[in-house]
Amino acid sequence: MELIENLPFETERVIAGRARIGMVVLASDYTVEREMRRLLALPGVDVFHARIANSPEITPDTLRAMGPLIANTAELILPGDTLDVLAYACTSASMTIGPDAIANYLHSAKPEAKATNPAHAAFAAFKALSARRIAVLAPYSREVNEFVQRAMEEAGFSVPVFGSFNESRDPTVAAITTASLKAAVARITRDHSIDAVFVSCTSIRIADDLADIEADLGIPVTSSNHALAWHCLRLAGIDDKMPGNGRLYSV
């Protein structure tokens, strides 16, 4: 047998040639990866996930418990290599722990990557849409909803109306029907002067229907996953317009 070693070779960045996005996803989340595949469907854009241990019961205590785990989980994404953007995909935890604290956890794992989370992404989306008065739809308990509302108001936005399904379990939230979501959005926007709607929670399945809901309402509509995917693209320097994804993806 002839053994030939150290053969010459060249490399090229084919996978993730335009953007390499890392994402820390909750172990209990059914929805993020599915919606990201749709929203980030651009040539050369690839997403790499790692799942963080969490309780399927969403409470302020279970949300805070994830904080110390974020950096170690993020380090599991392409170890020894770099990312363009690194995201933590939990809205309620980002609002409860604090968007800036989440960014610090992410930067400690991948200091070269631009960091984001659904809170930062939503705030950036509202600014891009020139929206200040936001109607919020969420699945959470009142305790968690209060953290979300407070974080939005501290970021400079007004929340004239906040609707909730009052459901704390991720598996149930992921199964909420499209008809229920549309009815809830219609209810919270009735008789209120608002600039945009924000559907808060990465487990909610709504990305496929956002453009239609937006057309019916006549105002911008975004969600946790919808805003997060858009923000990841913009942070990666990709400004492609994707009007089929709603008004946000045209700014």
At residue 15, the pLDDT reads 87
pLDDT at 64 over 90: yes
At residue 11, the pLDDT reads 87
Q: How confident is the model at residue 243 (pLDDT cuts 50, 70, 90)?
A: confident
Percent of the chain exceeding pLDDT 90 equals: 94
What whole-number distance in Å separates Cα of residue 198 and Cα of residue 186? 13
In angstroms, what CA-CA distances link 1 with 7, 127, 153, 192?
A: 16, 66, 72, 79
CA gyration radius, the chain: 19
Give the mean model confidence (pLDDT) for residues 173-183: 96
pLDDT at 57 over 90: no
Task: Give the 3-state secondary structure of residue 46.
Answer: strand
pLDDT at 28 over 90: yes
Q: How confident is the model at residue 13 (pLDDT cuts 50, 70, 90)?
A: confident
User: 162: which strand partners?
Assistant: 136
At residue 157, the pLDDT reads 98
pTM: 0.95
